[in-house]
Structure 1
Amino acid sequence: MIFEALKPQVSQIVSNTEKTVNERLLNICELLETHIEYYNWVGFYFRNGDKEELLLGPYVGAPTDHTVIPFGKGICGQVAVSNKNFVVPDVSAQDNYIACSITVKSEIVIPIFVDGKNIGQIDIDSNTPDPFTEADERFLEYVCNEVSKILP
C-alpha cells in the first residue's frame, strides 16, 4: 500500500533539522499531494494562540481565501472543537461546509495533538467523491503524530 511506503519518507522529512518547521510541513504537503492521486489540496491549520480560530499554515494546491477559520465553522473549525477525525464523503451534503473550490467533492481533517492538546490539523480536499478510507485515517494519524514531534 502506498501509505506504508510513504511513512518512512514522512519521518525522514520530520527529522531533517536543517530545514525550518514550516519547510518540513510544506515538504509533507508536497509528498502527500504528489504521491496520493486523490489528495488534491493538502494543508495545515494551527490554533492562533489563545484565540478560538485557526490560521492557515503551509499547504499545496489551489490558493484559498480561508486563511482564518473560526472554531466551529466548516469542517476544520468543527475538528478544532470536537478533537476528532472528520471524514466528509460528499461536501455538498454538509450544512456547515466552507467551499474552497467548486471542484472539491470530499474532505478529511485529522487533528494534531501536542501534550494532549489539539493545536492544529491536517486538511485534505479531494476532487474525487468519497475516496477516503480507514487506511487514510490511520495514515494521516501517523503523519499528525510525526508532525507533533516538531511543533512547539
Structure 2
Amino acid sequence: MTFSELKPEITNITSNSLTSVDKKLLKICELLEAHIDYYNWVGFYFKNGDKHELKLGPYVGEPTDHTIIPFGKGICGQVAVSNQNFVVPDVKAQDNYIACSITVKAEIVVPIFVNGENIGQIDIDSNTADPFTEADERFLEFVCKEVAKIL
C-alpha cells in the first residue's frame, strides 16, 4: 500500500471508539510493518511520567531489551530532547546509536506532540540501508498527529 492508501486506514484505527489506546497503537504498528516492506520494527515510546526517560509502548518486530531509554541516549533519547525528526540512513555511522539488532541498518524517529509537548515518538527500524525519504517523514508526521488525538 502507498502512504496515501494507508492514511485512511490510520484514521479508521484512531477513530474507533470501541478499541483501547494500546490496541489502536498496536494496530498501527501492525499495519505499517505489514504494508511497508522496509519497516521491519515499528513501535512507540512515551515519556515515562515525570522521569527524563522513555518507556516502550506497543510495538511489532523483534523483541527488544530497550524498554527504558534515558533522554539523550540513542536516537529515541535524542528526539526526546531535540523535538525534531531524526532520520538515520546508516546506524553504523551514528556514535550515539543503541543497537537493537545486528540486522538493523537504518532508523527513523518522529516525535508525537500533545498541546505542544513532546510526549512520545514513533520509532521505525529498517533492515534496508538508507530507505527513508521525505515522504516517510511526512507520512509519519501524519501518523503522529492522528495518534496525538487519542492520547
TM range (shorter): over 0.9
Cα shift readout 1:88-134 (whole Å, capped 9, x = no counterpart): 00000000000000000000000000000000000000000000000
Partner of 2:44: 44
Partner of 1:11: 11
Residue identity over aligned pairs, in percent, reads 78
Q: Distance between the aligned counterparts of 1:101 and 1:17, measured in 2?
A: 35
Cα shift readout 1:27-63 (whole Å, capped 9, x = no counterpart): 0000000000000000000000110000000000000
SS at match of 1:123: strand
Shift of 1:17: 1.1
Output the amino acid matched with 1:11.
T
Partner of 1:129: 129
Partner of 1:140: 140
Output the amino acid matched with 1:63.
P
The equivalences for 1:73-92 within 5 A come to 73-92=73-92
Output the amino acid matched with 1:106.
A
Aligned length, in residue pairs: 151
SS at match of 1:81: helix
Q: Distance between the aligned counterparts of 1:19 and 1:10, measured in 2?
A: 13
Q: RMSD across aligned C-alpha pairs, in angstroms?
A: 0.6
Unaligned runs of 5+ in 1: none
Output the amino acid matched with 1:135.
A
Unaligned runs of 5+ in 2: none
The TM-score, its normalising length taken from structure 1, stands at 0.99
The TM-score, its normalising length taken from structure 2, stands at 0.99
Output the amino acid matched with 2:146.
E
